[in-house]
Amino acid sequence: MLGKAGVLAALMAAGSAAAEDLALVIGNENYRNAADISAADDAGDAAGILAGGGFTTLRGDDLSASGMAGLLVRFYGDLQSAERVVILLSGHFSQAGKESWFLPVDTDAPELAGVDRVALPLDTLLQMAAEKPGRAIVLLGSEHRHIRLGRGLAPGIAAMDIPPGVAVFRGDAADIAAFASGVVPLRGQSIARMAAQRGALTAEGAVANFAPFRPALTADDGTAPAPADPIEIARQSEAALHLSRDQRRQIQRDLSILDFDPRGIDGLFGPASRRAIAAWQRQNGDPATGFVTQDQVVQLNAQAARRAAELEIEATRRQAEQDRLDRLFWADTGAGRDEAGLRAYLERYPDGLFADLAEQRLEAIGAARRESAGAEERRAWERALRDNTAEGFRDYLAKYPRGAFAAEARNLIARLSVDADAEAARRAAEQGEAALNLNPIVRSLVEQRLAHLNLDPGPTDGVFDDNTRRAIRRYQQARNLPATGYLSQQTLVRLLADSL
């Protein structure tokens, strides 16, 4: 069985072997329960030519699901030390939505619900190829032949989300094999030049000319080759650092602290991270390659640490001023001695230092009124509370304009009359926090950090309640961040900069 989880678990356990250039070639021609792919055996010829061109070639013919899984483990074990990579698959493919699978020869009418267990997901291969940006080519060959598929699957290859730095060529199995045999092994070839020679094939993904796929020993006229591309030199220099996922996350956090947005703290250097690195390099007078050196990693971290400290000093001063004005307003509105002052305070400082106390006192005032109000008025008020609509509270006020609950009714009407833009902004902030996929450990860290800053988030249990939301808003206000009460990437990076 080939399922994604099983494949990835096996790959993580795989060892590595030395290889300068690496090719994975699978030609599935003779299917047990589908029409044969007549030209799939041409992939074997291409494998021989690639091997003769200096590629360490892992080849498989007419492989079952378990056979493909075993070969894939070997390939991934060699991938880390490989310089350039070719992946060639010829056979039947199936698709659903934006996902595609390469089918083994023992496939038997697979369905969408189980295809991950019995076929090779193309997105898994593309992610492997993405480990060699600018140096990876994926070749996919097939023929219009009959294959029986189960519910949810269709034959062929879907439109793919190709990772940055990966070039994909697909087409007829015979044309793909010829392309792999006649074009790919040639010295001095850039991916763009290969794309120009693709013939009837479809070329997608990274076909830019910035990185020669194989360096030429001499130019076509026998002269020495042109100097190496500085972008490619920078790419190789960063690759030699062998940055771990956590180290890449730290780089992304440092960029975010310095206001260079990598669009995520995930440890994956996609186009946004590369643009952020290049912008930071440009600001510091370095060549804007988008690839970091060891010295730049140290410099970036030092700058981010200094900026984080500066931001916290600024935030502490701003918070102190906000607290001073908060206390002054509380005193000027009567220090909570009457209902009018309490409501005025909460309107100005809904997350203020005395907000909890003000709400408790208003609740006590409301309870006393409920006791003093007549039975009919209490029933009218209870109906309004059950409906919890502006219209319901207006109905109460129409009957009891000077009633025991009139002030509270007007306050609730004001709360329910939040304009549509504000509510849309709140929902967007809520969705933005949900997209961060924070686990309970990170949520607890957030609460611990808020508590350390004396913002009273409530229990540090990883559950964001009203107290937590209020603490987040106060944190955001002190740092000139959008005060939504929900975590954004910017808020999270600032909040945990000293914790992670």
pLDDT digits (tens, 9 = 90+) for 327-370: 999 998 888 888 888 888 888 888 888 888 988 888 888 778 77
pLDDT of residue 199: 73
pLDDT of residue 240: 84
Low-confidence ranges of the chain (pLDDT < 50): 1, 3-19, 209-212, 214-227, 498-500
What are the residue boundaries of the structural domains of the chain, listed by start? Answer: 4-205, 227-332, 339-416, 420-496
Spelled out in words, what is the top-level CATH class assigned to the domain 4-205? alpha beta
pLDDT of residue 374: 79
Q: Tokens 């809520």 identify what position?
A: 430
pLDDT of residue 133: 83
pLDDT of residue 272: 85
pLDDT of residue 302: 92
Query: 52 φ, ψ to 5°?
Result: -65, -25
CB atoms within 10 A of CB 328: 10
Question: Please, which residues have CB within 8 angstroms of residue 305's CB and are 6 or more apart in sequence?
Answer: none
pLDDT of residue 5: 42
Q: What strands lie across the sheet with 21-27, from one edge to the other?
A: 55-61, 21-27, 84-90, 136-142, 166-172, 202-205
| 128-187: pLDDT as tens digits | 998 888 788 999 999 999 999 999 999 999 988 888 778 899 999 998 988 887 777 665
pLDDT of residue 217: 39
420-496 folds as Muramoyl-pentapeptide Carboxypeptidase; domain 1 (1.10.101)
pLDDT of residue 497: 65
